[in-house]
């Protein structure tokens, strides 16, 4: 994807549950925005183009207005080991699934691929999926599974699918890394697919899954920057359906309930302008929109259900100018553009009750240490993708997951030399 980073596209939401315990309202961190920053974060930008009227006979899905304020109630902690971390989370009908690394040290052999399941957001049971191997004679021992980019996961409400790299200790192919999918319908029992999509190991992980998504009757995943798309109908075997060289340097942003895929690419014949492409089969793609010059698409939120629009997050930073915009379309033909309250936007995702995103101040300077502009990330919610309301966060850029209990926030920790211990979990509750 030609973007400043990959947007986390986890199932998020603003489903609000009854308050449990004493809610806490986090104290904002960081300094005030620069003089050129927007003065009112929750103000409504002017829409450029009206959203098309729904087709006759279609009843629009009700969209409750997000609350004016929210609070966070700490619910639990997840034991990730002294050096582990959570990298992603999704919801099932029976609870929540988180995944990442359970680690007792920073050494590779001590960093196991693990999942955690919770039926209620309070108790979390760990499952270890990897084992220590030496893939080739004389190689350093390591874990044979490693979770991929969190966007290389998918869910449809009944099943959660996570893509992982896999090392096979085979004398004839010991220098290869493969891809496998792990899937579950209850968070407790997991099934592994057959290995696919091998590439060389040098000796780090070499296979990269860009993103996975559900389609009617199956699942798809893009490997190698979306140039190769694989499909499975049973989550046991995967087969290639396309080598989309025409969308090289691109990323598929996911699929709508009807199977329409949306991708973003850089079309060099158009002065490197980012372009949105749509497909019904991941083989043939058509141009549906070209972004303004200097803007990159940094997140795509497919409709959570039929009749809801697509949202695309875009950013621009050029010679000191910075801006983020959100594009909205119900038909991928007519697009409405509005300015996002902050110039940095992340984790844009559609939910059953609206949209959610993290807004922040990008610290574009490097090497500035404590003098860098604080990101000061905030949670933003919207009922229409145009008007956004700012809220506090319980921690710095947490991972969000929406389920039957509402919206959970899980501490985001990173693989460094520091010790992590336990990862905290909060639930968003309605404020006054």
Q: How far apart are CA 143 and CA 74, in angstroms?
A: 33
Q: How far apart are CA 103 and CA 110, in angstroms?
A: 5
Half-sphere exposure of 76 (CA within 13 A, CB side): 17
Query: What is residue 399's three-state secondary structure?
Result: strand
Task: Convert 244-273 to b/e letters by CB count within 10 Å (16 or more is b).
Answer: beebebbbbbbbbbebbbbbbbbbeeeeeb
Place of tokens 């693990």: 114
Quote the pLDDT of residue 13.
Answer: 35
Q: How far apart are CA 250 and CA 240, in angstroms?
A: 18
Judge contact between 278 and 261, C-beta under 8 A. yes
Q: Which of 130, 134, 159 has the alpha carbon at shortest distance from 147?
A: 130
Q: How far apart are CA 380 and CA 42, in angstroms?
A: 9
Q: How far apart are CA 429 and CA 109, in angstroms?
A: 40
Sorted by where each starts, the structural domains of the chain and their CATH numbers stand as 70-361+373-430 (2.130.10.150)
DSSP 324-377: EEEEEESSSSS-EEEE-SSSEEEEEEEETTEEEEEEE-----SS-GGGSPP---
CA angle 313, 283, 271 (to 5 degrees): 50
The strand pairing partners of 177, in sequence order, are 167, 199
For 254: left if phi > 0, alpha if psi spans -120 to 50, otherwise beta; the answer is left
The DSSP secondary-structure symbol of 413 reads -
Q: How far apart are CA 251 and CA 312, in angstroms?
A: 13
Task: Convert 76-97 to b/e letters by CB count within 10 Å (16 or more is b).
Answer: bebebbbbbbbbbbbbbebbbb
Quote the pLDDT of residue 68.
Answer: 67
**Distance linking the first and last C-alpha atoms of the chain:** 40
The count of residues in the chain is 432
Record the tokens describing residue 363, joined without a space.
């610290």
One digit per residue, pLDDT tens: the chain, 432 residues? 433 443 333 333 333 333 333 333 343 333 333 333 333 343 333 333 333 333 434 444 445 556 667 889 999 999 999 889 999 999 998 899 999 999 988 888 899 999 999 999 999 999 999 999 988 888 888 899 988 888 889 999 899 999 998 987 776 777 778 899 999 999 999 999 999 887 655 444 455 667 899 999 999 998 875 568 899 999 999 999 876 555 545 678 889 999 999 998 876 555 578 899 999 999 888 999 999 988 999 999 999 888 899 999 999 988 789 999 999 999 999 999 999 999 999 999 887 778 999 999 998 777 787 788 899 999 999 999 999 999 999 988 899 998 888 889 998 764 444 455 679 999 988 654
Q: How far apart are CA 406 and CA 422, in angstroms?
A: 22
Q: What's the predicted TM-score (pTM) here? A: 0.80
Q: Which of 147, 228, 402 has the alpha carbon at shortest distance from 220?
A: 228
Quote the pLDDT of residue 304.
Answer: 85
Where are the alpha helices (H) located in 81-152, listed in sequence order? none
Quote the pLDDT of residue 6.
Answer: 38
Residue 59 burial class via C-beta count within 10 angstroms: exposed 0-12, middle 13-18, buried 19 and up:
exposed
Query: What is residue 319's three-state secondary structure?
Result: coil
- Distances, alpha carbon 282 to alpha carbons 153, 226, 412, in Å: 17, 10, 32
Q: Which of 234, 210, 231, 237 has the alpha carbon at shortest distance from 281?
A: 231
Dmax (CA) of the chain: 68
Q: Which of 7, 40, 45 has the alpha carbon at shortest distance from 386?
A: 45
DSSP 61-89: PP-PPPPS-EEEEEEEEEE--TT-EEEEE
Query: What is residue 118's three-state secondary structure?
Result: strand
């Amino acid at each position: 994807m030609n973007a400043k980073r990959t947007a986390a596209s986890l199932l998020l939401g603003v489903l609000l549950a009854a308050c449990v315990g004493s809610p806490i309202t986090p104290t904002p961190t960081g300094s005030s925005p620069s003089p050129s920053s927007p003065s009112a974060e929750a103000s409504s930008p002017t829409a450029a183009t009206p959203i098309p009227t729904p087709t006759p006979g279609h009843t629009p899905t009700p969209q409750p207005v997000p609350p004016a304020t929210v609070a966070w109630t700490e619910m639990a902690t997840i034991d990730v080991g002294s050096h582990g971390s959570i990298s992603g989370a999704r919801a099932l009908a029976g609870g929540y699934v988180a995944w990442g690394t359970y680690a007792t040290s920073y050494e590779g052999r001590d960093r196991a691929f693990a999942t955690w399941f919770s039926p209620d957001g309070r108790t979390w049971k760990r499952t270890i999926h990897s084992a220590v191997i030496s893939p080739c004679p004389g190689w350093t021992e390591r874990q044979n599974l490693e979770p991929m980019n969190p966007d290389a996961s998918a869910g449809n409400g009944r099943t959660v699918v996570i893509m992982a790299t896999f090392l096979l200790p085979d004398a004839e192919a010991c220098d290869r890394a493969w891809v496998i999918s792990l899937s579950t319908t209850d968070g407790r029992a997991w099934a592994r697919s057959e290995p696919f999509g091998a590439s060389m190991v040098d000796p780090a992980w070499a296979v990269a899954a860009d993103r996975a998504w559900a389609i009617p009757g199956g699942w798809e995943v893009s490997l190698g920057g979306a140039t190769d798309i694989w499909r499975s109908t049973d989550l046991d075997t995967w087969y290639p359906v396309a080598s989309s060289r025409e969308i090289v340097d691109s990323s598929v942003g996911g699929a709508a309930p009807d199977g329409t895929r949306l991708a973003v690419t850089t079309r060099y014949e158009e002065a490197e302008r980012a372009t949105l492409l749509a497909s019904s089969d991941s083989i043939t793609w058509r141009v549906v929109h070209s972004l303004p010059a200097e803007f990159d698409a940094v997140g795509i939120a497919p409709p959570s259900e039929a009749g809801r629009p697509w949202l695309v997050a875009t950013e621009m930073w050029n010679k000191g100018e910075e801006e983020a915009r959100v594009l909205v379309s119900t038909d991928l033909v007519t697009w409405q553009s509005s300015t996002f309250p902050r110039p940095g936007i992340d984790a844009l995702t559609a939910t059953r009750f609206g949209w959610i995103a993290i807004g922040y101040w990008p610290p574009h300077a490097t090497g500035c240490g404590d003098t860098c502009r604080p990101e000061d990330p905030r949670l933003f919610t919207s009922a229409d993708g145009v008007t956004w309301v700012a809220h506090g966060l319980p921690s710095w850029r947490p991972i969000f997951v929406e389920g039957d209990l509402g919206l959970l926030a899980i501490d985001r920790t990173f693989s460094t030399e520091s010790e992590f211990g336990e990862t905290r979990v909060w639930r968003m509750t309605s404020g006054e």
